[in-house]
Chain A
Amino acid sequence: DGGITQSPKYLFRKEGQNVTLSCEQNLNHDAMYWYRQDPGQGLRLIYYSQIVNDFQKGDIAEGYSVSREKKESFPLTVTSAQKNPTAFYLCASGTVPSYEQYFGPGTRLTVT
């Protein structure tokens, strides 16, 4: 089955620790995206990548980092510099020309 996988579904970390969220897709999509979802705020773009070895900051990139070494994979690292990391994180992939995005099931990160 083609799709996007995110792991783990729930993640718990202590404050001050970096944590990496996994996102893998087998849809052969060029573009991949990371969003953060908080209650009442919709989805906000953290980073996106339209091609391997290239990525751009979204609207709330501070405290996050990404890499895109393979077409299938776009991991997100939440660093200790992110002031309020507890949130639901969604990964998506998409392709031109439809511009439709396909989402993974999400990871709920809790930092205490």
Chain B
Amino acid sequence: AQTVTQSQPEMSVQEAETVTLSCTYDTSENNYYLFWYKQPPSRQMILVIRQEAYKQQNATENRFSVNFQKAAKSFSLKISDSQLGDTAMYFCAFMKPLGGKYIFGTGTRLKVLA
């Protein structure tokens, strides 16, 4: 069975600095998808970034980028130029194609300090 582990329950970063959130996963699959979702205090889940396992190139969305290490089963999220609005819970998620199910990590609470 697939598992997703986020080993950092809480993190903080100064505004404008860079922070990296860790995520590791366990799977025997070769093809799968990985996601980072953000849940701000409003509790609305928002997709941050998505990575297909068959793509070697790391995904990037504006200030958000990932470091995808397939052999190490690692999928970290880097937030550059952190903003106060980045304060949120961040969830890493794994999905096997055609399986229809996400597996979520337990989340990392990120606080951006002014």
Chain A interfacial positions (CB closer than 8 Å to B):
31, 33, 40-45, 48, 50, 56, 58, 88, 90, 92, 98-103, 105-106
Contacts and interface: CB of A to CB of B under 8 A. Distances in A.
Nearest to B96: A99
B102 interface: yes
A43 B9 CA distance: 15
Contacts of B106: 40-42
A48 B100 contact: yes
Contacts of B105: 42
B102 A42 contact: no
9 contacts: A40-B9, A43-B104, A56-B100, A58-B101, A99-B97, A100-B35, A100-B47, A103-B37, A103-B44
A-B residue pairs, 4 tightest by C-beta: A103-B45, A42-B106, A43-B104, A42-B104
A31 B91 contact: no
Contacts of A103: 37, 44-46
Nearest to B35: A100
